[in-house]
Copies of this chain bind each other. A is one copy, B any other.
Amino acid sequence: MSALPTSAPAARAPLGGPGGTAPTRSGPPRAPGTPAAAALLERCRDRVRPALVDAVGRLHPWTGEMAAYGLGWADRGGTPDPDGSEGKGVRQTLAVLGAEAVGADGAVAVPGAVAVELVHTFSLLHDDIMDADALRRRRPAVWKAYGTGPGVLAGDALLAQAVTVLAEAPGHRTGEAVRNLCRALNDLVSGQAEDLRFEERPWRGPGAVRPEQYRSMAEHKTGALLGCALALGAILGGAPERTVATLERAGRHLGLAFQAVDDLLGVWGDPRVTGKPVHADLRQGKKTYPILVALADGGAAARELGALLDSVGTIDGETAEHAAALVDAAGGRTGTREEARRHLDAARRTLREALPGGRGVLPAGSGILAAGRAARELDALFTHLLDRTW
């Protein structure tokens, strides 16, 4: 399982109807989701960009070049890559909207937005080394382009700079913001540790990974930083602690929903959209949610799936197709769709708890209209980000 892929949200993945397979289509995959969501992401990226460029520019030139490559701003060698493979900037957007939704100017969230984006980039660089993933956003991963040692170093530089930018943010709640980021960092690293350890465990029996253990890993590895992004926006925007905590919880649910969708795409995603071979996660023997849910079902298909996974070393195309059908038959696909839906619903519900302004009942104040708009934008963004499944 890879970390939340930032390029994936750009494309609507044709997963087909319940139980169906990816439909055959003549044209290329569809372009990004709603124009409003794309414009929203762009607006927030534009707002954060100067500070992000500045933070990367303060790195040693060599690590800065690797960081720019990792961010999709430049080719190997540092040549700007204007139509390159930049991520969508989901985390920076959540930070900016988190501040706006609590009635502040999005500008106050910029150090938080920079921090979460740098942490995300750090985690991609290091995770690709740990997972031996040679490709990231259809280009060689940083460690493939520059070497493993330099890739480690560039990640370290990004992490150090992330904390620095936030620690140097003005305002009296900087300490709280840094502690929040630290918690997310620890969760992120723990989640990666859990994920790597899953590889050693059996498919079946008492040592098997249970779906709820997978969920805990995903909350750490994917949910924590999304929750932190919203929380940092709210903290820097001056929100009360309770609002901060509620927004953080919403972001964590979003992360769980996102991970479930990512796992669906890992088995049934269209290679033209995901950039990976069909049934990629099954071929690589990854213990992802659909497979674990299917195995936990205990029925005939689950037993056949378990025996199949136990018996083969490398899973080739035909076996992968059969395994995918067994996962589906054992309820892995439906269960994962339900997981995604459940956490998207929880994310949206939690968001409304934190931000009643989205429904027009925010306490009066100068930023009330803007805050209400931001709350509605967040809600729409949540839905948009999950729009790849249904």
Contact = CB atoms under 8 A, between A and B. Distances in A.
B60 A156 contact: no
Interface string A133-163: 0000000000000001110110111011101
A163 B175 CA distance: 12
Given A62-B197, A167-B179, A179-B167, A153 B185 contact: no
A130 B149 contact: yes
Interface stretch (A78-86, A187-195, A256-264, A370-378): A187-195
A314 interface: no
Contacts of A21: none
Interface in A185-209: 185-186, 188-190, 192-194, 196-197
B153 A196 contact: yes
A59 B185 CA distance: 11
A193 B153 CA distance: 7
A190 B60 contact: yes
A12 interface: no
Given A153-B189, A175-B175, A182 B160 contact: yes
A61 to B, nearest CB: 8
Interface in A217-269: none
Contacts of A60: 189-190, 193-194
22 contacts: A59-B186, A60-B189, A60-B194, A62-B196, A62-B197, A129-B149, A152-B152, A155-B156, A157-B186, A157-B193, A160-B182, A160-B185, A160-B188, A160-B189, A163-B163, A163-B178, A163-B182, A163-B185, A164-B186, A167-B175, A168-B179, A168-B182
Given A131-B149, A160-B182, A163-B178, 13 more contacts: A58-B186, A60-B194, A63-B190, A152-B152, A157-B186, A160-B185, A160-B188, A160-B189, A161-B186, A163-B163, A163-B185, A164-B182, A167-B175
